[in-house]
Amino acid sequence: MIAHFATERLQEVYARVKAFLEAEVYPNELRWLHMPFREVESELRLLRTKAAATGAWNAYLSAHHGGPGFSLVEVAQLGELMGTSPFGHFLFNCQAPDAGNIELLLQHGTPAQKAQFLEPLLKGDTRSCFSMTEPEYAGSNPVKMGTTAVREGDYYVIDGHKWFTSSADGAAFAIVMAITNPGETNPYRRASMILAPTDTPGFQLVRNIPVMGHAGEGWHSHGEIRYEKVRVPAGYLLGAEGDGFRLAQERLGPGRIHHCMRWIGVSERAFDLMCRRAAGREISDGVMLGEKQMVQDFIAENRAAINAARLMVLHTAMHIQEKGQKSASLDISTIKFFVANVLQRVIDCAVQVHGALGVTDDTLLAYYYREERGARIYDGPDEAHKASLARHILKSYGLEVKNN
């Protein structure tokens, strides 16, 4: 694997990151996946010094904010490489949801918020989580929300029920989406983002939600949270009251580039495992699995799909760089559902080629199969993105499609 649109600077860092992953990470992945994450985390944190020495620590940050100052297209290519391991992004402090939360705090945090919440994140000393989705409301309609934050003097009091608050287990704080302006006629102006330390009385991690039988822990988990009269200072409001959805949209654009390129990294890893299996598995005397045309079809189709997905995402990253996120909104929706489906197809084919081995935890594939199926659901389900894209296209042909 190589960087496809590489400056000389990126080529150098890319080579160092690749060498680091091959020497320190790939050989240990299965062992780490079979261990409690709290035990793994201590090993990973020791490796972070070596990871930082590659020049890719906080790879998505500008030089002004202490990062390497890569362009979004360059960051995307590093994100793909890191995505070839379940632990890659964490080792370089580029993991979700912290990367998005860091960007929010950089753009909208007050000096006091940056000192208390941002600086430890930048150093990798703490983790955070983002608390938006609620089990009682359809995630495909984000304005439907029950969590409230009521202003009482110099404090907000948060009450609500969230789930799939990823990485809440062990996080130092959450960024909570809550209704602060229930009387606002514009539903997109009702919610705000508020910082909530997880040690605040009333913050309750109910459980780590099992995903296909695996609850996980620490960073590798999705938390169900109860906010029961969680009282935080009014100074923990992020941005202005009513700006919650605007800030969320700012977070989603570059965030989807990061997600999609990570998914392409996962796809490349699954593709590599599939090809190794096809080339090395004898199915009858002197006949290898890869000699079967159906397996060759898997290999050819998936190679083309991954290449297409990569170019679509890099094109979108370039569009954002040159014309801004708003101009690229349709491209952003398109890559979200397209790449998620490529990811699912590649993993499924790799499982099939591995046969019974593919559904065991003796390879990375079962982990990828259960952990990445949600790609077609979170950050907006495929159906919502497809409908949005189709409505915009049809509008250019004179048809106004009503929501249904």
Q: What is the pLDDT of residues 88-129, one digit of tens each?
A: 999 999 999 999 999 999 999 999 999 999 999 999 999 999
Instruction: State pLDDT tens for residues 360-369.
Output: 999 999 999 9
Exposed/middle/buried for 292, CB within 10 Å: 0-12, 13-18, 19+? middle
> For residue 97, is the peptide bond before it cis, meaning its omega torsion is within 30 degrees of 0?
yes
Superfamily of domain 128-242: Butyryl-CoA Dehydrogenase, subunit A, domain 2 (2.40.110.10)
Q: What is the pLDDT of residue 404?
A: 58
Q: How many residues does the chain have?
A: 404
Q: Residue 140: which pLDDT band, with cuts at 50, 70 and 90? A: confident
Q: Which phi-psi region, left, alpha or beta, contains residue 242 (left: φ > 0; alpha: ψ -120 to 50)?
A: left
Q: Domain extents for the chain?
A: 8-95, 128-242, 246-395
| Residue 197, φ and ψ in degrees, nearest 5 | -55, 140
**Rounded distance, CA 100 to CA 256, Å?**
10
With a cut of 60, say whether residue 284 has pLDDT above it.
Answer: yes
**Residue 124: C-alpha distances to residues 107, 144, 263, 376 (Å):** 19, 34, 23, 29
With a cut of 70, say whether residue 43 has pLDDT above it.
Answer: yes
Domains 8-95 and 128-242 share a fold: no
Mean pLDDT, range 192-204, rounded to an integer = 98
Nearest 5°: the CA angle 102, 108, 109 is: 70
Mean pLDDT, range 193-203, rounded to an integer = 98
Residue appearing with tokens 């994450």: 37
What sign results for the dihedral spanned by CA atoms 40, 197, 157, 107? negative
Three state DSSP letters for the chain = CCCCCCCHHHHHHHHHHHHHHHHHHHHHHHHHHCCCHHHHHHHHHHHHHHHHCCCCCCCCCCHHHCCCCCCHHHHHHHHHHHCCCCCHHHHCCCCCCHHHHHHHHHHHCCHHHHHHHHHHHHHCCCCEEEECCCCCCCCCCCCCCCCEEEEECCEEEEEEEEEEEECCCCCCEEEEEEECCCCCCCHHHCEEEEEEECCCCCEEEEEECCECCECEECCEEEEEEEEEEEEEEHHHEECCCCCHHHHHHHHHHHHHHHHHHHHHHHHHHHHHHHHHHHHHCEEECCEEHHHCHHHHHHHHHHHHHHHHHHHHHHHHHHHHHHHCCCCCHHHHHHHHHHHHHHHHHHHHHHHHHHHHHHHCCCCCHHHHHHHHHHHHCCCCCHHHHHHHHHHHHHHCCCCCCCCC
Is residue 346 a contact partner of residue 267, using CB atoms and an 8 Å limit? yes
* Token code pair at residue 399: 């048809």
Rg (CA), the chain: 22
With a cut of 80, say whether residue 253 has pLDDT above it.
Answer: no
* Token code pair at residue 116: 């208390």
| Residue 13, φ and ψ in degrees, nearest 5 | -70, -40
As a whole number, the mean pLDDT across the chain is 95
**Rounded distance, CA 377 to CA 213, Å?**
18
Is residue 337 a contact partner of residue 385, using CB atoms and an 8 Å limit? yes
Strands 216-217 and 220-233: antiparallel
Report pTM: 0.94
Q: What is the CATH number of domain 246-395?
A: 1.20.140.10
Exposed/middle/buried for 399, CB within 10 Å: 0-12, 13-18, 19+? exposed
Q: CB within 8 A of 184, min separation 6: which ones?
A: 190, 242
Mean pLDDT, range 144-167, rounded to an integer = 97
Q: What is the pLDDT of residue 81?
A: 97
Q: What proportion of the chain, given as a percentage, has pLDDT over 70?
A: 98
Q: What is the pLDDT of residue 161?
A: 98
With a cut of 60, say whether residue 3 has pLDDT above it.
Answer: no
Is residue 150 a contact partner of residue 157, using CB atoms and an 8 Å limit? yes
Is residue 47 a contact partner of residue 56, using CB atoms and an 8 Å limit? no
Q: What proportion of the chain, given as a percentage, has pLDDT over 90?
A: 90
State which fold the 8-95 domain adopts: Butyryl-Coa Dehydrogenase, subunit A; domain 1 (1.10.540)
Q: Residue 2: which pLDDT band, with cuts at 50, 70 and 90? A: low
Mean pLDDT, range 64-79, rounded to an integer = 92
